Chains A and B, each alone.
Chain A
Amino acid sequence: MKFEGTSSYIATEDLKVAVNAAITLERPIIVKGEPGTGKTMLAHEVAKSLDAEIITWHIKSTTKAQQGLYEYDAVTRLRDSQLGDEKVKDIKNYISKGKLWNAFESDKRPVLLIDEIDKADIEFPNDLLLELDKMEFFVYETGETIKAQNRPIVIITSNNEKELPDAFLRRCFFHYIKFPDPNTMEEIVEVHYPDIKKDLIQEAFKIFYDIREVPGIKKKPSTSELIDWLKLLMTDDVDAKILREKDPKKLIPPLHGALLKNEQDVHLFERLAFISRRENENVE
């Protein structure tokens, strides 16, 4: 089993090494990086390229580790017992399996995505330590031990909102997806829009990387935003010439809403663009 990237996902060399290490050693891999650099996508693509089932577990601030294993529905059972339902005799009827259980049961080695683990409580990763290490857990209600038939490929994403405990980190591989350089970016765009005009890409890239370089910008546009923006430019059939526009009245790139996500950034950009264009004109 080897991950080599797919036709719709450009994986850099270091990412491939990290993912393959995690697959071979059957350890979880933690993926961090700027928002929009394809952390969640990675799990889906790994599943696709290995032809494995993907099981996703989205973490929220209220998610508990136990929910990933199983949940015991005591309230329903209580109600059923009062109604004299036959089901009530077997406790198994009231245990609903969590994502981890599903993953452990799978016949073929699945990919388990634990998305945005940092959203959960600080103790959350610690509660999963043993389960992810041994790939087994114990169900108290029925007294059975659930053991993984095939150790799933566990991919964990984090947005760095909380620090993860050291004990947890020690058991995982780690990869930080850095922001793609223009060459990689070109490959990524190529994968998404194979028939995009070359000159449009060039002009759009220039604007995109310029915006990212703007000092003091609050939220830098990311890969996924660039992709969206290009899509808009394509559907509106914007000509590359418009992007090259030097008219001070049209300072802001067309459809900038896809790139700049708050009004301070738009103002800032307007101001800077104005200054730089004025300087250009003076030079000319």
Chain B
Amino acid sequence: MFINFFFDLKQASLPVSLKEYLMLMEAMNKRVVDSFNVNDFYYLSRSALVKDERYLDKFDRVFGHSFKGLENPEGETTKEIPEEWLKLMGQKYLTDEEKKMIESLGGWDKLMETLKQRLEEQKKRHQGGSKWIGTGGTSPFGAYGYNPEGIRIGQKEGKNKKAVKVWDKREFSNLDGDVELGTRNIKIALRRLRKFAREGAETELDLDNTIKSTAHKGYIDVKMMPERRNKIKVLLFFDVGGSMDAHVKICEELFSAARTEFKHMEYFYYHNCLYDAVWKDNKRRYNDNIKTWDVLHTYPSDYKVIFVGDAEMSPYEITYPGGSVEFWNEESGETWLTRMLNVYENAIWLNPIPERYWDRIASTSIIKQIFSDRMFPLTIEGIDQAMRELNK
């Protein structure tokens, strides 16, 4: 049953590893929490298996799903175990051999009866105490794999007051990587794109090298080295106006995060698709624009290119000359995009529209194709992936 929970987590693409699972087992084995109840198990497994608050929400969901029906409803005496459920579990997880053993004990009904009896006895002996069936080694249930897996029989009264299960509250929902963005989060995501290098003027004392050289030569020989800097260079292209108005906030956040994160960053605006000119100031876009050719010629090909836009337009705006909604473009948007991609090897497109809609929008599919699938949603997850892609 735990194994299944583990695989459920894997399936939900939570980064859990065998090592962490074994750690959880070890913790269970060592009785980290002595009066075991589902809540404690939830806390323990969360602490052992989840290593980033981004995944907490997902974990809660999987936990809720995997252990549905395990918790005790409020007010009910805890010794009642739904028989149906036990049977079902048994059929699902017991081997044929074990099933036979059950038969030899008188079948399911008999077993249930014994269980009830045992519970009665336990109630008498340990007033209000909590004990796991199957851990003592005397209970016939132990042999069938019902131990720590969470069937809690009997517990201190009043311990579990809450009607809502802890994991079902989903208190961490807004920390999920797919949901909310803030500049801080974006910055962290953007930090994936870092390449430190020592370049330029030698301004720092290289202590190790100095010592080494001094010892070698027998006199003080000072060695210097350049400062360590992030040498990533970025060109950002923002789609503005029209359908992008709905995404202004997120673009602002991305922009401000990128500006603090990258020392060498240039940004440009475009509308819907890249044509022969871009601009840096939206107020003067008609007078003061910059030829796209100039951009291509100015910035060397080691710049990384990030396009931000919803890629939502008429397909003609991309594929045909004169397709632009604003002016007569001699060459199609596709031509310009391809030119850009030919110069800059590392280029990606960030799309504020959720990924599930992309296939339904013709223009988005076209652009995605032009970018050879390097289109990512404008979420923390998406930026994260995009930065990995740019790092390649």
Contact = CB atoms under 8 A, between A and B. Distances in A.
B112 interface: no
B15 A166 contact: yes
Given A13-B43, A17-B47, A174-B51, A74 B32 contact: no
Nearest to A162: B191
Contact of B20 (A74, A161, A163, A170): A170
B43 A17 contact: yes
Contacts of B313: none
Given A163-B188, A176-B172, A21 B50 contact: no
B172 A20 contact: no
Interface in B44-71: 44, 46-48, 50-53, 56
A137 B50 CA distance: 28
B214 interface: yes
Interface stretch (B23-31, B99-107, B273-281, B336-344): B23-31
Interface string A148-164: 00000000000011111
Contacts of B47: 14, 17-18, 21-22, 29, 173-175
Nearest to A169: B51
A160 B48 contact: no
Given A17-B32, A27-B23, A174 B50 contact: yes
Interface string B9-40: 00000010101100100110010110000011
Contacts, number: 80
A21 B47 CA distance: 8
Interface in A8-31: 13-14, 17-18, 20-22, 24-25, 27, 29-30
Contact of A78 (B30, B40, B215): B215
Sorted nearest first, the 10 A-B pairs with minimum C-beta distance are A18-B47, A169-B51, A17-B43, A14-B43, A176-B53, A21-B32, A174-B51, A173-B47, A24-B32, A21-B27
Given A176-B172, A178-B171, 5 more contacts: A14-B47, A17-B47, A20-B32, A78-B211, A78-B214
19 contacts: A13-B40, A14-B46, A18-B43, A21-B33, A21-B47, A21-B48, A22-B47, A24-B27, A25-B27, A25-B30, A25-B32, A30-B51, A75-B211, A78-B215, A163-B191, A166-B15, A166-B17, A169-B52, A176-B175
Interface of B: 15, 17, 19-20, 23, 26-27, 30, 32-33, 39-40, 43-44, 46-48, 50-53, 56, 166, 171-172, 175, 188, 191-192, 194, 211, 214-215
